[in-house]
Amino acid sequence: MATTLTIICDNGISRPGLVGEHGFSVLIEREGKTLLFDTGPGMSLPINFEALGKDPGSVDKIILSHGHYDHTGGLKWIVEKACKPEIIAHPAVFSRHMVRESTDISVPARFIGCPFTRRELEDAGARFKFLEKTGAVEEGITFLTGYALDPEKVALDKRLILGDGLDVDPMEDDASLLIDTEEGYVLLLGCAHAGVLNIVDYIKEALGITRLKAVLGGTHLMFYGAQSLSRLMDKFDEFKVDIIGVSHCTGMQAALKLAARFGQRFAVASAGCVFRWGEV
């Protein structure tokens, strides 16, 4: 059984003919099933699907890592192209996510949540399944969410607030995927607002997993300090991670440190990159 992950949307591109934009989306193909993890902000999704020769109509399920626009902006397009797809997300995915871009509190915060309502998406054909705790979405694919967090391991961005108040957004809808491949487990991250250290420790403590074939996606390491980043790199070695493929919100400085530490095990998982495990 082969598992193929194709990066559809990322800030960067891996070859000409693709479009990069601030966001993330991955196509997962295995056992005749096609799943889309996140949808980017929306502009690049139709262009890159076509450029990569992928059929949006083949998408059976859409899985959301959280409710920010740069992961949900392509939802309506893919829902309309797919045949009444199931959308799997945390129930707080439609929370009023905001960002405060000025230290002057008189400057209003900007809405950065999902640009569509649940009703709009359902009218377009979407069927929602909400999971507030970790659970299977397909055989061998686990939706990771609802775990207890160690505050010291969270990738906290204090600019993110919930609603129009001043309270930091807890990002309770943050979720990741754990994919069981023939060659080992792959941890697929959207933005990892919960903190990669939290997520990796969770899969060890709750699921008994101590090795990872790959960690791919947005890591939000731009908000990790030097000490936390060093702890994370040690953790990757502890889990014997073969491929560390970073995308989207990782941050250039963190990516350079990862590249220096891991060498050939490091990759930039930009749009158009393909990762495959198992026999075709």
- The pLDDT tens digits for 173-219 are 999 999 999 999 999 999 999 999 999 999 999 999 999 999 999 99
Mean pLDDT of 242-269: 97
Average pLDDT over residues 36-48: 98
Q: What long-range pairs does 101-107 form, CB within 8 A, spacing at least 24?
A: 101/159, 105/166
Distances 269 to 59, 147, 197, 231, 255 between C-alpha atoms, Å: 21, 26, 20, 22, 11
Q: Are the C-beta atoms of residues 241 and 214 closer than 8 Å to each other?
A: yes
Selection from 14, 45, 26, 1 nearest residue 177 by Cα: 26
Stated length of the chain = 280
Q: Please, which residues bridge with residue 55 across strands?
A: none
Q: Confidence band (pLDDT; 50, 70, 90) for 280? A: low
State both tokens at 224.
Answer: 């990790």
- The pLDDT value recorded for residue 234 is 97
| DSSP percent split of the chain into helix, strand, coil, nearest 5 | 25, 30, 45
pLDDT, one tens digit per residue, over 67-80 is 999 999 999 999 99
Q: What is the pLDDT of residues 124-161, one digit of tens each?
A: 999 999 999 999 999 999 999 998 888 888 888 889 99
Q: What is the mean pLDDT of the chain?
A: 95
- Share above pLDDT 90 across residues of the chain, in percent, rounded to a whole number: 87
| Structure confidence at residue 170 as a pLDDT band (50, 70, 90) | very high
Q: What is the CATH number of domain 3-277?
A: 3.60.15.10
CB 153 within 8 A of CB 192: no
Write the CA distances from 59 to 16, 55, 56, 69, 98, integer angstroms: 25, 8, 6, 20, 30
Mean of the pLDDT values across residues 39-46?
Answer: 98
Model confidence pLDDT, tens digit, residues 80-97: 999 889 999 999 999 999
Q: For residue 26, give every residue at least 6 positions away whose Cβ sits within 8 Å of its Cβ, in sequence order, or none.
A: 5, 6, 7, 8, 36, 37, 38, 188, 216, 217
User: Domain map of the chain by residue range?
Assistant: 3-277
